[in-house]
Structure 1
Amino acid sequence: MANIIEITDFEAPELDVYARYSEVQLLRIHEPKPGIFIAESPKVIERALDAGYEPISMLVEHRHIETQAKGLITRCGDIPVYTAEYEVLTKLTGFALTRGMLCAMKRRVLPTVAEVCQKAHRIAVLENVVNPTNVGAIFRSAAALHMDAVLLTPGCSNPLYRRAMRVSMGTVFQVPWTIFPEKEKWPEDGMACLQKLGFKTAAMALRDDSVSIDDAGLMAEDKLAVVLGTEGDGLGVTTIADCDYTVKIPMAHGVDSLNVAAASAVAFWQLGNRT
Structure 2
Amino acid sequence: MSNIIEISDFSLPNLDVFARLTETQLRNRLEPEMGIFIAESTKVIGLALDAGCEPISLLMERKYIAGQAHGIISRCGDIPVYTADRNLLAELTGFQLTRGVLCAMRRPHLPSVEEVCAGASRVAVLERIADSTNMGAIFRSAAALGIDAVLLTPSCCDPLCRRGVRVSMGTIFQVPWARIGSEPSQWPQQGMKILRKLGFKTVA
TM over 0.5: yes
Q: What code does the residue aligned with 2:200 have?
A: F
Structure 2 counterpart of 1:201: 202
Distance 2:133 2:4 in 1: 32
Distance 2:29 2:22 in 1: 10
Q: Secondary structure at the match of 1:83?
A: strand
Specify whether residues 136 and 90 from structure 1 end up closer, same or farther in structure 2 by C-alpha distance, changes over 3 A only.
Answer: same
Q: What are structure 2's unaligned runs of at least 5 residues?
A: none
Distance 2:148 2:199 in 1: 15
Q: What are structure 1's unaligned runs of at least 5 residues?
A: 204-275
Deviation for aligned residue 1:34: 4.2
Structure 1 counterpart of 2:162: 162
Does the 8 Å contact 2:127/2:155 carry over to 1? yes
Structure 1 counterpart of 2:17: 17
Query: How many corresponding residue pairs?
Result: 203
Structure 2 counterpart of 1:147: 147
What's the CA shift string for 1:189-222, capped at 9, x where partnerless? 111110100000123xxxxxxxxxxxxxxxxxxx
Structure index of larger Rg: 1
Deviation for aligned residue 1:30: 6.4
Structure 2 counterpart of 1:246: none
Specify whether residues 166 and 30 from structure 1 end up closer, same or farther in structure 2 by C-alpha distance, changes over 3 A only.
Answer: same
What's the CA shift string for 1:85-134, capped at 9, x where partnerless? 01111111111113210000001221100100001000111011011111
What's the CA shift string for 1:125-174, capped at 9, x where partnerless? 10110111111000001111110000001221211111111111100000
Q: How does 1:28-177 map to 2 (within 5 A)?
A: 28=28, 31-177=31-177
Q: What code does the residue aligned with 2:145 have?
A: L
Does the 8 Å contact 1:34/1:109 carry over to 2? no
Q: What code does the residue aligned with 1:120 have?
A: A
Distance 1:48 1:18 in 2: 17
Q: What code does the residue aligned with 2:63 have?
A: R
Distance 1:5 1:52 in 2: 25
Q: Secondary structure at the match of 1:33?
A: helix
Give the structure, 1 or 2, with the largest relative contact order (CA under 8 Å, sep 6 or more): 2
Deviation for aligned residue 1:50: 0.5
Structure 2 counterpart of 1:190: 191
Structure 1 counterpart of 2:5: 5
Q: Normalized against structure 1, the TM-score is what?
A: 0.72
Distance 2:39 2:8 in 1: 23
Q: Normalized against structure 2, the TM-score is what?
A: 0.96
What's the CA shift string for 1:214-249, capped at 9, x where partnerless? xxxxxxxxxxxxxxxxxxxxxxxxxxxxxxxxxxxx
Deviation for aligned residue 1:28: 0.7
Distance 1:174 1:74 in 2: 22
Distance 1:11 1:105 in 2: 20
Distance 1:9 1:75 in 2: 27
Specify whether residues 75 and 30 from structure 1 end up closer, same or farther in structure 2 by C-alpha distance, changes over 3 A only.
Answer: farther
What's the CA shift string for 1:28-62, capped at 9, x where partnerless? 17615340000011111000000010000000101
Q: What code does the residue aligned with 2:67 have?
A: T
Distance 1:159 1:57 in 2: 21
